[in-house]
Amino acid sequence: MDVQPIWGAPRERFRRRQGGKVLLAPVLGALMVLVAACGGSGDDEGDKGGGDTPSRATVKISPKDGAEDVATNGALKVTVDKGTLKSVTVKDRKGKKVEGKLSKGGSVWQPVGHLGTATEYTVDAVAKDSEGREAAEHADFTTLTPKNTFVGRHVPEDGQTVGVGMPVDLRFTRGITDPKAVENAIEVTAEPSVPIEGRWFGNDRLEFRPEKYWKPGTKVTFTMNLDGVEGRPGVYGTQHKKITFTVGRSQVSTVDAASHQMTVVRDGKKIKTLPITSGAPGTETYNGKMVISEKHPVTRMNGETVGFGGEYDIKDVPHAMRLSDSGTFIHGNYWSGQWTFGNRNASHGCVGLFDYRGGSTSTPAGWFYENSMIGDLVVVRNSHDRTIQPENGLNVWNMPWEDWKKPQSAQAAQSGQ
């Protein structure tokens, strides 16, 4: 049987009779659809903004794709020429996004903070031109791994309950020459909210406090986003920590060096008056507001460590609580005789309370130790000595608020002014 191409087939193959009429429509209609599908009208793409016409916008990502050892600050930037940025997404391999901001006009995107060290980041940027046509760019890069690092050692600890006088105390393991960069990476907030300000003492210590003592029940949160902060040339922070502590009840104990008595006030009510001894003539106790920073059931006190030579070395001082970095404590005293307390000042600058050797909860020293916490205040008055400096211990309350808030230059911060 001969097979002929369809175009060469007899016309009868395209005819179908129905009621005496010749019908050609079904085959011809199919052919018309086939022609239309192969050729198209050419109008659809034109209706969608120019078909394959590329966007005039050109996106540039710095650093370039594949870059390594990238600086954590100042290196990342996304720009567009002949267009505006529609979106920029920067994130690390864990999916944490980097917050950024667009310039006025939308042509430049930069991060609002610093990047982390030794971290791989991905950047995806989309821009559009004046006709709405989009252009996209992608890049991966890795930040530097520092050879020299620093951390901030802090008190209080996460979850701790403290007294109303407790500041946020940060002491850095390396001297900081860019205090503003470090301070900008630390946030301190309180609930209920109060204004909180930071102040540098020297180049390795930063303190935060409100205007007045914390209110009991306040929850304080401080975040250290120091990873990637260049605190001094070539020296980078490595921490990212969030610490929350709670302020407990209010307790302020006032020592009167002249009357040799201490009055303990809790939540506004006097709960105890205790006989004390303070610094003898020539070794008087500092005046001022002092914060309990350490508690020790028993400790050694050696005069050589605080400039008194071999005048004393007591290996078992009971119920000791530190009030200053320079060696001021309020502690139990079993060696001076019970008559001393409430009658004369006989110490080398500490505040002493009667105690037994080995310590006892039944003595004034034992009671006060059991009823005190880190962050409580001990205020000394009527001593023949100067007021303690705010940087000597956690004694930040001895600087007026207006002075505390004054801006510090980098030089002033490094010198502790």
The amino acid present at 27, given as its one-letter code, is V
Last residue of a domain, one of 143, 174, 191: 143
Percent share of the chain, pLDDT over 70: 83
Average pLDDT, the chain: 88
- CATH code (residue 79): 2.60.40.3780
Domain of residue 127 covers: 58-143
Return the higher-pLDDT residue of 84 and 47.
84
Residues with a catalytic annotation lie at: 331, 350
- Report yes or no: 133 and 53 within 8 Å, Cβ to Cβ: yes
What letter would DSSP give residue 180? H
Q: Look at strands 261-266 and 186-191 and give their pairing.
A: unpaired
Q: Give per-residue burial for 18-51: e unless 16+ CB within 10 Å, then b.
A: eeeeeeeeeeeeeeeeeeeeeeeeeeeeeeeeee
Q: Verify that 243 and 322 share a domain, yes or no.
A: no
Average pLDDT over residues 364-371: 98
Length of the chain: 417
Kindly report, residue by residue over 59-88, the tens digit of the pLDDT: 999 999 999 999 999 999 999 999 999 999
Q: Which residues contact 86 (CB under 8 A, 6 or more apart)?
A: 126, 127, 128, 134
Q: Positive or negative CA dihedral for 337, 343, 346, 347? A: positive
Q: Verify that 360 and 312 share a domain, yes or no.
A: yes
Predicted pLDDT at 17: 38
Q: Verify that 287 and 366 share a domain, yes or no.
A: yes
DSSP H/E element including 369:
helix 364-370
Q: Verify that 297 and 380 share a domain, yes or no.
A: yes
d(CA 228, CA 208): 22
- pTM value is 0.81
Average pLDDT over residues 144-169: 98
> Of the candidates 178, 187, 189, 188, which has an alpha carbon nearest to the alpha carbon of residue 229?
178
Q: Dig out the tokens for 28 from the structure.
A: 């011809």
